[in-house]
Copies of this chain bind each other. A is one copy, B any other.
């Protein structure tokens, strides 16, 4: 279907009695145009209701002004917040964000990215769940790419990551102070970089007398809900979710089972999504620098859009937020 746009630059040119080059110059506020002609063209454009075709501009300018953002799950407030951060920054530079939501299905990611790449000047991948070779293959897309919360293979892409080690040690110290000597980690998606990070940070942070279990869960509310009982079965007195959603899902299950938090069992998470403080008890969690993630991602990508020079990595740091969901070991 060839949708015929009624009013193109040619219509305006004709109406104003000038060439289309001149109309283009007027619309782009190029200097050295006769003021009389400027007003004549402006008038004609307004009268006809002319609005330049973004698509045509994209083609001739060789850029779209769009940055594609891939997120694992938009329902996760973490990513919604990161996305807001990106949009806010990008917008100041005249870019908009094209969002693809992979719904926590790693297979979806590549499909989305292939599409995104064809419409955008650059890509930001938030916590991609794809495998390392797949990630490396993205270099072929021939588009600037920045990773958020995932270390790039062989430093292939600029990335903004977080160092949770310190905060996790704080968490372990906090739990140890409450007398917890057996913890159960509710594991996230296997290819998520955060998963490996968090798990290894936990392993290296616990005291030798502490037992650390791991039960596979996932990244969404339901995953935590489903994994809670398996975690209970380990006998651990504290559950640590891969992220806050998993932790909240587990809390919900515990409450259904009539188990008090933190009375009978403590729970902690990762991310510090906005709603972690509204749960009662509030959720103890390792807070990610969410808005900064977005800001920094843009700052890495933005120069990269104009020249291919930049290729840096930025590491932010997490911090522990203690709320009511963790307490003294009871049994």
* Residues of chain A at the chain B interface (Cβ within 8 Å): 1-3, 6, 49, 51-56, 58-59, 62-64, 66, 74-75, 77, 80-81, 83-84, 87-88, 96-101, 103, 115-119, 140-142, 221, 248, 251-252, 255, 274-275, 277-281, 306
Contacts and interface: CB of A to CB of B under 8 A. Distances in A.
A306 to B, nearest CB: 7
Contact of A55 (B52, B59, B84): B59
Nearest to A2: B62
A119 B99 contact: no
A278 B277 contact: no
A165 to B, nearest CB: 28
B119 A66 contact: yes
Nearest to A143: B51
Contacts of A53: 59, 118
A46 to B, nearest CB: 11
Contact of A58 (B55, B74, B103): B55
Contact of A63 (B1, B52, B116): B1
B101 A87 contact: yes
Nearest to A116: B96
Contacts of A49: 140, 142
A56 B54 contact: no
30 contacts: A1-B62, A3-B62, A51-B141, A53-B59, A53-B118, A55-B55, A55-B58, A55-B64, A55-B119, A56-B59, A74-B80, A74-B84, A74-B87, A75-B80, A75-B84, A77-B77, A77-B80, A83-B101, A84-B101, A87-B99, A96-B98, A96-B116, A97-B98, A98-B98, A248-B275, A252-B278, A255-B280, A275-B278, A275-B279, A278-B279
A252 B280 contact: no
Contacts of A88: 103
Nearest to A100: B96
A118 B52 CA distance: 8
A331 B51 CA distance: 62
Contacts of A221: 274
Given A96-B119, A118-B52, A280 B281 contact: yes
A295 to B, nearest CB: 15
A328 B64 CA distance: 58
Nearest to A79: B80
A14 B306 CA distance: 30
Given A75-B80, A118-B53, A306-B1, A251 B274 contact: no
The 8 A-B residue pairs whose C-beta atoms are closest, nearest first, are A54-B118, A280-B280, A275-B275, A3-B62, A55-B58, A54-B119, A55-B59, A278-B279
